[in-house]
Amino acid sequence: MAGNRAVAYAGAGNVEVKDIDYPELILRDGPGVHPLNIGRKCEHGVIVKVMTTNICGSDQHMVRGRTTAPEGLILGHEITGEVIETGRDVEFIKKGDMVSVPFNIACGRCQSCKEQNTHVCLNVNPDRPGSAYGYVDMGGWVGGQSEYVMVPYADFQLLTFPDKEQAMDKILDLTMLSDIFPTGFHGAYSAGVKPGSSVYVAGAGPVGLAAAHSAQLLGASVVIVGDLISERLEQARSFGCETINLRDHDNLGEQIEQILGVPEVDSAIDAVGFEASGHGQDAEEAPATVLNSIMDVTRAAGQLGIPGLYVTEDPGAADKAAMQGSLSIRFGLGWAKGHTFVTGQTPVMQYHRSLLNSILHGKANIAKAVNATLISLDEAPLGYNEFDSGAAKKFVIDPHNMFTK
């Protein structure tokens, strides 16, 4: 039987590449696996040879020690690969298919899935609705920053690429379909971006850059990106965004007014989440900063897309309230302005097929927007460190050295 190597969480600030078991069509006990999921049979699943798997900002929250993730948890929820084994109950997915794996794990059978709310599937996580590969409190499904991974509910979930040779040529774009591109698009779409819109995106990390590119695809007239890191803002400017350096400016509305002539935008997107920082030279962590600032600069009756991650438990928070996910949000301001808020994980399957077509037909250039950068599996720890330092890159792991030779 083939071996398997994977990236594992090794305590706050550390990951390691280690040997793990080759996947089976059953969920075995291991770090983070919910007791009620142990022994769960997955004849509806497949084994995927991972061709690319991306490092996500959500992974970094765990690696920084800001969640209750156990050491040894196998990381990775952005997975693209080739099907090499199918379960007895798989009917339509075939060996040799090249596929994108949505980061949401969804059964396709519950009420949520039937309503296309695959981000809150009711049958895959005994703790609460919703699940993902390699993530804390998500049921314990083994992550895909590995050479091989098991994917359940294959017929329902997997997005098959129509032409393998074409997919190989566009792999750096297509690898973004498992999470980051749909997540960025969801942020823009749920913020009500439409032709002619003015849009503010908080955060120029990969999700923020994906949201900015998505806002452009939806027809926004002006996309403004704010961040504290100059290198990331330069990346946003590289594909036509206006930028605001929040390290140099603590009044966001004034900066928006200099660009638009008014201090408000039609739509705003939070691509930062709970590890947000205040604005200005001496800014410190302030987890409600982004939520409060986007309410402040979004016009009355505007919409706020919030794909940034917020958690129910943050052991590294500065105060007891934030440790429980309770933040000092000016909800009255949002209420008074009649804002619409959309939060939660992205239901990837609502978007990934349309975004696939946009890539294949040259309308979307997501790899360029997020500065996709290939690394080997052994380079993953260095990738995590560089990403954590604020590099303007989206690291794409190539476990079998298919693209990095």
CATH number at residue 204: 3.40.50.720
Residues 272, 125 share a domain: no
Residues 136, 19 share a domain: yes
In a domain, 81, yes or no: yes
**pLDDT above 90 coverage of the chain, percent:** 91
Residues 211, 65 share a domain: no
In a domain, 403, yes or no: no
Per-residue pLDDT reduced to its tens digit, 313-359: 888 887 888 888 899 999 999 999 999 999 999 999 999 999 999 99
Q: Amino acid identity of 221?
A: S
Quote the pLDDT of residue 405. 57
All residues at 6 or more sequence positions from 362 whose CB lies less than 8 Å from its CB, including other chains:
none
Find where tokens 């770090």 sit: 31
What does the mean pLDDT of the chain come to? 96
Find where tokens 């190597």 sit: 5
Quote the pLDDT of residue 117. 98
Residues 333, 300 share a domain: yes
385: confidence class by pLDDT, cuts 50, 70, 90: very high
Last residue of a domain, one of 343, 360, 380: 343
Residues 157, 38 share a domain: yes
Last residue of a domain, one of 343, 360, 376: 343
Neighbours of 220 (CB within 10 A): 25
Which residues constitute the domain of residue 159? 5-179+347-398
DSSP characters over 53-72? EE--HHHHHHHTT-S-PPTT
State whether residue 222 is helix, strand or coil: strand
Last residue of a domain, one of 326, 343, 360: 343
Residues 152, 44 share a domain: yes
CA atoms of 240 and 33, how far apart (whole Å): 43
Neighbours of 160 (CB within 10 A): 16
CATH code for the domain in which residue 40 is found: 3.90.180.10
In a domain, 334, yes or no: yes
pTM of the model: 0.96
Residues 332, 213 share a domain: yes
Residues 132, 73 share a domain: yes
Per-residue pLDDT reduced to its tens digit, 179-233: 999 999 999 999 999 999 999 999 999 999 999 999 999 999 999 999 999 999 9
Residues 171, 258 share a domain: no
In a domain, 404, yes or no: no
Q: How far is CA 378 from CA 16, 135, 165, 288, 336, in A?
A: 9, 21, 26, 36, 51
> In the numeric block, which tokens belong to residue 172?
């750096």
Check whether 242 has a pLDDT greater than 80: yes
Neighbours of 361 (CB within 10 A): 8
In a domain, 378, yes or no: yes
Residues 290, 389 share a domain: no
Per-residue pLDDT reduced to its tens digit, 106-128: 999 999 999 999 999 999 999 99
Residues 305, 247 share a domain: yes
CA–chain centroid gap for 332, Å, is 29
In a domain, 405, yes or no: no
In the chain, the number of structural domains is 2
In a domain, 380, yes or no: yes
Per-residue pLDDT reduced to its tens digit, 45-101: 999 999 999 999 999 999 999 999 999 999 999 999 999 999 999 999 999 999 999
Residues 204, 292 share a domain: yes
